[in-house]
Amino acid sequence: MTTTSKPRATLTMPSDTELVITREFNAPRALLFEALSKPEHVKRWYGLRQLTMPVCEMDFRPGGKWRYVLHDATHHMDHAFSGEYQEIDAPARIVSTERYEAIPNSDYLATVTLNEAGGKTTLTSHLRYQSKAHRDGHVMSGMEAGMQETYERLDELLAAIGAKA
């Protein structure tokens, strides 16, 4: 019996202030870029399954701002994330600041690159934090489990919108 395992993102820490996340998706780069850059798609894959996203604002251009709010109905809590787009090189690269609004001065720089080979695309997210404490706090927040589930949801969306393309 052959079992196929789900793709998983890998995390590495090349320095005290960096985190690099790598994940392969079974989709062409242009489709993955579309899923990352359009709010109607982001609302369908970003965050944990039990959360809703009542706010998904994206002014997708250099200098434009973005803001996502995830709602946890079980705990009656909102989790807000926001930032500003620094660079956009479609369909290869997105650079933006990111912050978890509940933690003041938690901004970090995220550089997402998409590299396609053989119809599959590797997403690399290079995060640069203000300090080791900020990086470690992000990692210890449980972000890895949430990221794995979020990327599984992104896989599902890519299959759905890829079938329509």
**Residue 109 within any structural domain of the chain:** yes
**Residue 39 within any structural domain of the chain:** yes
**Residue 69 within any structural domain of the chain:** yes
Q: For residues 47 and 149, give the distance between their C-alpha atoms in angstroms, rounded to a whole number.
A: 8
**Residue 3 within any structural domain of the chain:** no
Each residue's pLDDT, cut to its tens digit, for the chain (165 residues) gives: 445 577 899 999 999 999 999 999 999 999 999 999 999 999 999 999 999 999 999 999 999 999 999 999 999 999 999 999 999 999 999 999 999 999 999 999 999 999 999 999 999 999 999 999 999 999 999 899 999 999 999 999 999 998 665
Give the tokens for residue 41. 């798609």
**Residue 142 within any structural domain of the chain:** yes
Task: Please give the residue range of the domain that contains residue 136.
Answer: 10-164
Alpha helices by DSSP H, the chain: 29-37, 39-45, 132-138, 144-164
Residue 11 sits at the vertex; the CA angle it makes with 123 and 121, to the nearest 5 degrees, is 15
**Residue 23 within any structural domain of the chain:** yes
For the chain, what is the domain count?
A: 1
**Residue 5 within any structural domain of the chain:** no
Q: For residues 142 and 55, give the distance between their C-alpha atoms in angstroms, rounded to a whole number.
A: 22
**In the prediction, which pLDDT does 165 show?**
52
CATH number for the domain harbouring residue 116: 3.30.530.20
